[in-house]
Amino acid sequence: MYRSRPHLWREGLLLTGSLLHGGAATAQRVEYPPARRSDVVDDYHGTLVPDPYRWLEDPDSPETRAWIEAENRLTTAYLAHIPDRPAIERRLTQLWDYPKFGAPFHKGGGYFFFKNEGLQNQAVLYAQGSLTAEPRVLLDPNFLSEDGTVALSTLAVSEDGTLLAYGTSTSGSDWEEFRVRDVADGRDRPDHLRWIKFSGASWTHDGGGFFYSRYPQPTGTDALRAVNRFQKLYYHRLGTEQAADVLVYEQPDQPDWGVNGTVTDDGRYLILTVWLGTDRRNRLYWLDLEDSRRPRVQAKVVRMLDDFDASYSAVGNDGPVFYVLTDRDAPRKKVVAVDTRRPDRAHWREVIPQGEDVIDAVQIIHDRFVVNSLHDAHSRLRLCSMDGRLERELALPTLGAVSTITGERRDAEHQ
């Protein structure tokens, strides 16, 4: 059995070879780059806590850059002497080189799917007019930048299938920029939105625009590292400048709250999910997009579930009755029907009760609940009627994890 020897680490020695090459361990001297210890000490209510390497928190300082470059030279030189690396690279390349497909989805009669030919850095988005039509490339993120540092991060197709709102991020940043592309010719429109983070896009059913969330534009010389607070929900009207976007919701007294908006399948309501960091608990609000007494997207936001006491996720709706997946009094989750006219818990109706398995996700497809649950570390799929009755369990080809299910309430196809 291989055992490390701590005193050799302190002397700059690294033991290698006993496991990789099947022989006796060999010692290779590694000279690690020096890391200066500063005299930074924090006083936390009388407790002194030293932080000698805080200078490394500035990744762009000359000292930090020199240290990083020295570390990279050390690593590269060490890895270059491993004789098995070329063989491992060839084998991994061979194993990864096969076509990979994402789950298809459709809008307005058109179909969309992602495909990776094998070794592409990013999967390509294809579109086709029908199930038998020839697929064509709609968006290839591998060509968004010459150096490959721009990635496709978000997309949403309009209800009629003619427009694609998509987001891109650069160099792994959480910041996104949104653009709009015509599905027919693959050309981008002038719409260009910035300072977006932790947001999707959700179209109104008239195709006039979409909802999204953004932060105020950072100020100062280091805008990309500024603290992000006061996220707001906006509506972008197609063909207008971002400065003209309509403010839908903000919470000025809660700067750390975030908000996302999703249009229901019937196009009638906007569901607002209000969250705080990584807390599983959230709030659920809504507004009526067809309120004739006010201009579109300026109706009053109704705070339906506002106690921040559990996780709530809107699954769908029948008019003013919303179906909500929640862990309120159900750690393995359940689905309840909440009437927006009487949202208090005394009037909740349990539709799919908590079971032995944890419910990962629920969707309404073809007027049925599709329930994805976790059973003994693998996925199980059930079809339930709209009143919650189990219709059947879908047989899966093998044990595994179901990561994506696509479909909508009014879908009638079976693939």
Is 324 inside any structural domain?
Answer: no
Name beta bridge partners: 261.
Answer: 272
Structural domain that includes position 31? 6-39+53-94
∠308-314-318 over CA atoms, to 5°? 130
Is 105 inside any structural domain?
Answer: yes
Indicate if 128 and 259 belong to the same structural domain.
yes
Residue 74 CA neighbour count, 13 Å, CB half: 15
- Which pLDDT score, from 0 to 100, does residue 17 have? 44
Query: Distance between the two ends of the chain, CA-based, in angstroms?
Result: 53
∠342-371-213 over CA atoms, to 5°? 65
Indicate if 179 and 80 belong to the same structural domain.
no
Q: Which residue has the tokens 């029948």?
A: 318
| Domain final position from 238, 263, 288 | 263
The number of folded domains in the chain is: 2
Distance from C-alpha of 4 to C-alpha of 386, rounded to nearest angstrom: 60
CATH number at residue 158: 2.130.10.120
Residue environment code for 245-273, b if the CB has 16+ CB neighbours within 10 A, otherwise e: bbebbebeeeeebbbbbbbbbeebbbbbb
Indicate if 114 and 225 belong to the same structural domain.
yes
Q: How far is CA 54 from CA 49, 119, 214, 226, 350, in A?
A: 12, 39, 31, 18, 52
Low-confidence ranges of the chain (pLDDT < 70): 1-28, 291-299, 414-415
Query: How much is the pTM?
Result: 0.86
Distance from C-alpha of 379 to C-alpha of 160, rounded to nearest angstrom: 32
- Which pLDDT score, from 0 to 100, does residue 27 have? 54
Distance from C-alpha of 37 to C-alpha of 53, rounded to nearest angstrom: 6
